[in-house]
Structure 1
Amino acid sequence: MRTAFITLLKIAGIILAILGLCLGAGGIYLISLGGSWFYFIAGVAMIVIGLGFFKLRAFALWWALALLIVDIAWALFEVGFDFWQLVPRVITFLVIAAVASFAAPLLLNNKGNTALAKMPAFGLGAILTLGFVAFIAGMFKVHPLVESDGTQAVEIKPDAGQVDGNDWPAWGRDTLGNRFAQFTQINRDNVKDLKVAWTYRTGDLAVDGAEYQVTPLKIDNTMYLCTPLNKVIALDPVTGQEKWRFDPQAKITESTKGWKRCRGVGYADLAKLQPAANTETPASPATTQAVATTCQKRIIETTIDARLLALDAETGKLCEGFGNGGYVDLTEGLTPTPKTSDQGTYNVTSAPLVADGVIMVGGRINDNLTVGEPSGVVRGYDVVTGQLLWAWDASRGAKDSTPLPKGQDYAPETPNFWGTAAYDPKLGLAYFPTGNQTPDFWTGNRHPYSDEYNDSIVAVDLKTGKERWHFRTANIDQFDYDVSSQPILYDLPKDGKTIPVIIQLTKRGQIFVLDRRDGQPVFPVEQRKVSTDAMPGMQVAPTQPHSALSVGTEPFKEKDMWGGTIFDQLICRIEFKQMRWEGEFTPLSDKKRTLIYPGYYGGFNWGGGAIDASTGTLIVNDIRMAQWGQFIKQEVAERTGLKPSTEGEYSVQYGTPWGVVRSMFVSPLGVPCFKPPFGSMTAIDLTTGKTKWQVPVGSIQDAPVHGIVPGVYMPIGMPTMGGPLVTKGGLTFFHGSLDYYIRAFDNDTGKELWRGRLPVGGQGAPMSYIGQDGKQYVVAVVGGATRTGTNANRGDYVIAYALPDKK
């Protein structure tokens, strides 16, 4: 047995010396780049320890213990007690020290004595092993970024949410985009008992580029949702039984074959139409005439082949008097896209805003493909007739919102709006966020009006489309930071008065809070200098706006580089030092890769946030994934076999001097090269601006790395998609993590109170209502985690949760 242990120890010594050589060599290179010396020192120490193991010499133990002590001191100096930052820094050397301790009775000094006798050696080894076990155990626990102080939120609006009764009549529950339900039947005390009440399968699997990102509506005794192929389905909200379905037979084009989504539908009750208060012009004649005897209650949908349609909410049949036989062609007035299929690239994926007799829609275009993309025009249509009422586009801005005469086209290349708008019925103003002029990464061809309106919040009169004000969240966007989440409208008590605010989340992680009457910041916004070292021909801005409220926006430093082990962490640090990085908005170059953080997926993406309207607590989920990008000549990309796509690792950008290669910033092991979490949930008290708590969301359990699914629940915090639901029961529900769970968090502490296993991952936002049976339901629609690139683990589930009946 002793011989076997000695043999194993010698083999370990050889392996350790080789690893130390690699670590030391990499450490030398990192030093040459101006990086940390620790990896070189650790590599040398590992070589010495490996040599000691091989020669069975006592110095191996003392070097191993010294290395561990130095390592812990260095780790604490760099990252303090940040658990996930400590893991790759400490575990390797903790294991080496533990092995050296257990091997001490086999290690001899110059006098032939053992380094330590068995009892003290095994005792030291046991202590170090306990430290290792403690680290492993810590991987299965949630480590908050901001700990709650336990203070209970003060209720400032007891009647919040009651105007919509027991229903969920709009995508964000109301036109304010609050995603707040005043129901308390499911609460902190009993959420642990939540069970599946019913499950429905739509029949449209989320495969071949289809994704379920829908939030259903519930009006009276019917639930309405759409599938990625734009089939509209009506269900009984108590039983999940199908009432009707309608298939618009959306055409799949080259543009949409890999991008099929329907995030929601709209609803209108024509019997309740009336002019919005305080508008500058009266309602259109169509919306004030006697309503039709059919289709009084309407479901409004936009499609991936660019149509707007109206259905009878009771029967699911087309409203023949709307548009042309129930349809409106949204491509009218749009120019065709060059270098694409004849069917163009314009389509609509988000829920329309339907309010006060107007349907308000924007549109999605393909990013990064070519110059000359169709206009980003935002249009308002009459909900009764489908008549075009107004059209706002950036090329005309505040000057004119009247529709162009038939046969004329809206200016191409203007920033578009591809999310869902919000509406304030008291002010009569609708609010929508914009993107930027494509292609996203080359700014040399930008129009002045595109720069003026890129990544903006625009306020328009809902009845006329006339612009009231706009506010820009980024200057000359170089990184696809288009603003996509639905604005949240809230009446905020502040400084002894109530201010009607608009809360806009951005991909940059910035949260802009503005007075929605005039667009003036309520929380301070400052312009900060950024790098302007750009390629010839690029337009760049010298400053960028930063809000006093933000999440996950701290600039990266070398010490923030991560990795599953000390070895890939070293590689990540080397790659970081090799990249261009002078902070956010460091311009892309053709010479070497540029780090992009916050990444172009967010920050905050289209899912948006929610607000506990009774307490003024804003709750948001974010993404923390860095990317890198580099310009490349299109002919070089073609010669090297890169395949262009709008979402992949090469974007061709026809009509510009450069294509772009880009990707996630990950280690050779496939894990992110930057510190966790990679997604979090945050609660902010808007009355003070203070972050109440911040916790990582999501585990590695179901997220494949190089095709391998870990299968273990480690809540490190994964990228999030979709948005939260907040209830007056003190709960935040969320199912947009990469693992297959729906969760309920305590609104006051961020503590996870309940977790339900899903059949597949989700990426939409849950909703809640009270059914005719008097029970509160929470509903999630799930079809698979976001962008897996495969048809495996996909679904078509609508799942309703409720408390079990009392026996």
Structure 2
Amino acid sequence: MGRLLAWLLTPLGFLFALLGLALAGGGLYLLMLGGSWFYLASGIVATVIGWGLLRGWGIAFWLSWLLLFAAGYWSFREVAFDFWQWVPRITAFAVLTLVVTLAAPALSGPVPRGKAVLVLALLLMAGLGGMGAGMFLPHEEVAASAEPLRVLNINAGQDSAGDWPAYGRNLRGERFAQFEQINKGNVKDLKIAWQYRTGELAVDGGEYQVTPIKVNDRLYLCTPRNQVIALDAVSGSEIWRFDPKVKEAEINKGWKRCRGVAYAEIPATSISREISEEAGEEAGEVGGALQETIAEPASCAQRIISTTGDARLFALDAQSGKPCKNFAEQGFVDLLKGLGPNGPTSYNLTSAPLVAGGVILVGGRIQDNLRVGEVSGVVRGFDVQSGELLWAWDASRGAKDSQPLPEGEVYPIESPNFWGTAAYDEQLGLAYFPTGNQTPDFWTGNRHPYSDEYNDAIVAVEIKTGRERWHFRTVNIDQFDYDVAAQPILYDLPRPDGSTVPALIQLTKRGQIFVLDRRNGKPVIPVEQRKVATDAMPGMKVAETQPYSVLSIGAEPLTETDMWGMSIFDQLYCRIQFKKMRWEGEFTPLSDKQRTLIYPGYYGGMNWGGGALDARSGTLIVNDIRMAQWGQFISREEAKRINLKPSSEGEYSEQLGTPWGVERSMFVSPLGIPCFKPPFGSMTAIDLVSGQTRWQVPLGSIEDSPILGYKAQLHIPLGMPTMGGPLVTQGGLTFFHGSMDFYVRALDSDSGKELWRSRLPVGGQGAPMTYMGADGKQYIVVVAGGATRTGSNEDRGDYVIAYSL
């Protein structure tokens, strides 16, 4: 044994010396950039340890333990007891110390031997084993509140009976159901009740991001290519399907989405007719003109309203699935009218329309970052019965005029658009929709005044006329594609003085949560204007201040100590890259000289998936994304020289018509691991009455995520980027399936603890929904077509899955 140890000292010594030199070299570079000294110091010590092993010196043993304790002290000083931050900081030094300790009997001088070596080695192995075991446990960001949820509204959720008749269940966007048949005590017993496959796989740019609706005995959903399907809500059997036969073009070739459909009931038409005197006598009527009023059922009385990837709005008979012939032109509206010649290559629709007050409200998606001159972001209201265009709001006119333009005229180009789903307040008669940004997103030098006024805003309009009542900007001038995409959530918020404020809750990609009085747009929870960096490129326009809410999730500025990695070496790499980037806070402008860190990133914060509101207790529950990116302006000539391929969503966008293209990407290590601390996605519960975070937990594991091309296949709940949104029920449960791993989960709404999860055939991206079936059972339904886009056709599906007890 002694000879074996002596023989191993040479290769181990060389290995540790080389690794120490690498650590020291990188540490010296980091120190020159103004970063931490520890990597240089630890690298030097590791090199000496390696040399000591080569020479068989006992000093290597003592230095290894000294280095381990120094690493622990340094880790505590930087990150306190943050588990995932300790992993790369301490693991390598613990392994080094274990190896040197085991080799101690072969070293000269006063070093432990015999049982002492065994005890020390067992302690180190126990520590490493404990850290390894800790990787399989969720590490909450905010511990659960000890106070139970208070019931403030016992009637919450009753407005939709046993159905789910709208994208957010009701037009307030709550995603809350009062059902408690499935609850904390029995959720573990959930089983698949039925499974349906649409026959349309989410491939070639298609993504299933749909939340179905349920009305009466039927479930309605749409596919990425805009087929609309009706299913029996109890059995899952197909009743009908309709294919609008979407034409593939530049705008939708790689971007096929349908996030939901809407439902409308057309009131019966009252008509009067004369009846005979004999009939009148039989009815007991005498004298005078004899007439009766009857209600004649409307044609296509129950309608499914949907949109297409080639910019059409259409209405179907909910019973038969056939187009409503009396709606517009044989059931279809051409939404390219009024958008000019660029419409077919610039504009389409992806989100569920709002149907409220007899009006269909729709916005549209516009291509990002390709060129100037994109079409108007006009928001339009159509009569739900006839399909007639009633009004048209666009930012260029704002509150001045919402009349539709005369036939043949074109809405002014380059105005901010609305591409999500709106909310509606029936008492106020107001609809609320969030806006995006004038594209191209990363160059602000060509912005119109009206674009700056309405970028990333919430706009309130009268549903009948489209007349603007108010608007509120969540960003003053947007340089980073911070479109506001989530459906607003409406809630009557109790205040400390006993009053109630009709509030609007708007989630944003920036991680900021704005709570406004929905009557006038004034902040209910304080918002302050903070100074931000303004050292922009010549020709760029930037704002000196930006709005920040008291409520936010995952929006704390990154620092060098937040840099992460799987080991001490890629953590060092990430710290070096961080110090080399421009970073003066969230709104640090892009440059052509060096990369700028972008955080929160343009995927979120909170994206289109939105949140859910436990309307009984006033608790907001929301998933978020924490993924830093970097960006840099680049000349189109240089981009061509280095063979960058332009696209709207990829890592290089030409931004034709502006001085610069833009190169951008995720901020990751050479291993493809994010360069910043976990979690990369979380679920958070916020008490809106007190403003306090009740709990915050990491969401999703690395199990199905590829690392260097291979799936981890380990259920390590690190917290991964999320899409879609949550569902909350009176049973005390929060359901979610938009994680990177292939699971649907139920969390305890009081604590965030996972109570149940079930493996899906592929990942999901939409939001779950729930309803009561005609058989008296509560169902939870998810649609799984594949986790958030991967750029390939692998792990794609077409599943609609219902669970019940």
> Which range, TM-score by smaller chain?
over 0.9
**Which residues of 2 match residues 742-761 of structure 1 at below 5 A?**
742-761=744-763
The residue that corresponds to 2:214 in the other structure is 218
In the TM superposition, residue 49 of structure 1 has moved relative to its aligned partner by: 1.0
1:749 and 1:590 map into 2 onto residues whose CA distance is: 46
The residue that corresponds to 2:157 in the other structure is 161
The residue that corresponds to 1:671 in the other structure is 673
The residue that corresponds to 1:183 in the other structure is 179
In the TM superposition, residue 563 of structure 1 has moved relative to its aligned partner by: 0.6
2:6 and 2:227 map into 1 onto residues whose CA distance is: 68
2:7 and 2:430 map into 1 onto residues whose CA distance is: 78
Give the fraction of aligned pairs with identical amino acids, expressed as a percent. 66
AA of the residue aligned to 2:624: D
The residue that corresponds to 2:239 in the other structure is 243
Q: Give secondary structure in 2 for the equivalent of 1:12.
A: helix
In the TM superposition, residue 249 of structure 1 has moved relative to its aligned partner by: 0.4
**Which residues of 2 match residues 79-478 of structure 1 at below 5 A?**
79-109=79-109, 115-271=111-267, 293-337=298-342, 343-478=344-479
Q: Deviations over 1:570-622 (max 9, x none)?
A: 01000000000000100000000000000000000000000000000000000
Out of 761, 782, 785, the residue aligned to residue 783 of structure 1 is 785
In the TM superposition, residue 641 of structure 1 has moved relative to its aligned partner by: 1.2
1:164 and 1:7 map into 2 onto residues whose CA distance is: 76
Q: Which has the larger radius of gyration?
A: 2
In the TM superposition, residue 272 of structure 1 has moved relative to its aligned partner by: 7.8
Out of 725, 728, 731, the residue aligned to residue 726 of structure 1 is 728
1:12 and 1:23 map into 2 onto residues whose CA distance is: 16
The residue that corresponds to 2:704 in the other structure is 702
**Which residues of 2 match residues 646-665 of structure 1 at below 5 A?**
646-665=648-667
Contact 2:246 2:309 in 1 (8 A): yes
Rate the CA distance shift 1:489–1:272 in 2: closer, same or farther, 3 A. farther
Contact 1:718 1:737 in 2 (8 A): yes
Q: Give secondary structure in 2 for the equivalent of 1:571.
A: helix
Out of 609, 612, 625, the residue aligned to residue 610 of structure 1 is 612
Contact 2:268 2:297 in 1 (8 A): no
AA of the residue aligned to 1:770: M
Contact 1:336 1:373 in 2 (8 A): no
TM-score w.r.t. the length of structure 1 is: 0.96
Q: Deviations over 1:320-358 (max 9, x none)?
A: 011101100000000233xxxx83120000000011210
**Which residues of 2 match residues 510-589 of structure 1 at below 5 A?**
510-589=512-591
Contact 2:98 2:121 in 1 (8 A): yes
2:330 and 2:345 map into 1 onto residues whose CA distance is: 23
Cα RMSD between the aligned structures? 1.2
1:290 and 1:545 map into 2 onto residues whose CA distance is: 53
2:655 and 2:564 map into 1 onto residues whose CA distance is: 32
1:323 and 1:429 map into 2 onto residues whose CA distance is: 25
Q: Deviations over 1:504-548 (max 9, x none)?
A: 000000000000000010000000000000000000000000000
Contact 2:601 2:629 in 1 (8 A): yes
2:782 and 2:54 map into 1 onto residues whose CA distance is: 58
1:170 and 1:548 map into 2 onto residues whose CA distance is: 31
In the TM superposition, residue 639 of structure 1 has moved relative to its aligned partner by: 2.2
1:572 and 1:529 map into 2 onto residues whose CA distance is: 28
TM-score w.r.t. the length of structure 2 is: 0.96
Q: Deviations over 1:726-751 (max 9, x none)?
A: 00000000000100001111111111
The residue that corresponds to 2:635 in the other structure is 633
Contact 1:768 1:778 in 2 (8 A): yes
1:403 and 1:291 map into 2 onto residues whose CA distance is: 31
Rate the CA distance shift 1:467–1:316 in 2: closer, same or farther, 3 A. same
2:295 and 2:468 map into 1 onto residues whose CA distance is: 30
1:355 and 1:637 map into 2 onto residues whose CA distance is: 47
Rate the CA distance shift 1:84–1:322 in 2: closer, same or farther, 3 A. same
2:268 and 2:185 map into 1 onto residues whose CA distance is: 39
Out of 609, 623, 626, the residue aligned to residue 625 of structure 2 is 623
AA of the residue aligned to 1:390: W
The residue that corresponds to 2:22 in the other structure is 22
2:6 and 2:686 map into 1 onto residues whose CA distance is: 58
Contact 1:273 1:357 in 2 (8 A): no
Q: Deviations over 1:376-407 (max 9, x none)?
A: 00000001110000000000000000000000
Contact 2:723 2:738 in 1 (8 A): yes
2:191 and 2:8 map into 1 onto residues whose CA distance is: 52
Aligned pairs, how many? 781
1:304 and 1:107 map into 2 onto residues whose CA distance is: 72
Q: Give secondary structure in 1 for the equivalent of 2:344.
A: coil
Q: Give secondary structure in 1 for the equivalent of 2:711.
A: coil
Q: Deviations over 1:736-774 (max 9, x none)?
A: 010000111111111111111111010100000000000
1:355 and 1:302 map into 2 onto residues whose CA distance is: 16
Rate the CA distance shift 1:273–1:161 in 2: closer, same or farther, 3 A. farther
2:415 and 2:38 map into 1 onto residues whose CA distance is: 51
AA of the residue aligned to 1:27: G
5+ residue gaps in structure 1? 275-288
The residue that corresponds to 1:76 in the other structure is 76
In the TM superposition, residue 724 of structure 1 has moved relative to its aligned partner by: 0.2
In the TM superposition, residue 290 of structure 1 has moved relative to its aligned partner by: 7.7
Contact 1:179 1:610 in 2 (8 A): yes
**Which of structure 1's runs of 4+ aligned residues deviate more than 4 A?**
289-292
1:225 and 1:801 map into 2 onto residues whose CA distance is: 17
Contact 1:335 1:375 in 2 (8 A): no
Farther off after superposition, 5-14 or 741-750: 5-14
In the TM superposition, residue 292 of structure 1 has moved relative to its aligned partner by: 5.6
The residue that corresponds to 1:281 in the other structure is none
2:9 and 2:265 map into 1 onto residues whose CA distance is: 78
Q: Deviations over 1:118-150 (max 9, x none)?
A: 200110011011000000000000000000133
Rate the CA distance shift 1:36–1:154 in 2: closer, same or farther, 3 A. same
The residue that corresponds to 1:278 in the other structure is none
The residue that corresponds to 2:273 in the other structure is none
The residue that corresponds to 1:277 in the other structure is none
Rate the CA distance shift 1:230–1:290 in 2: closer, same or farther, 3 A. farther
1:336 and 1:533 map into 2 onto residues whose CA distance is: 37
2:295 and 2:558 map into 1 onto residues whose CA distance is: 61
Contact 1:724 1:734 in 2 (8 A): yes
AA of the residue aligned to 2:93: F
1:600 and 1:680 map into 2 onto residues whose CA distance is: 17
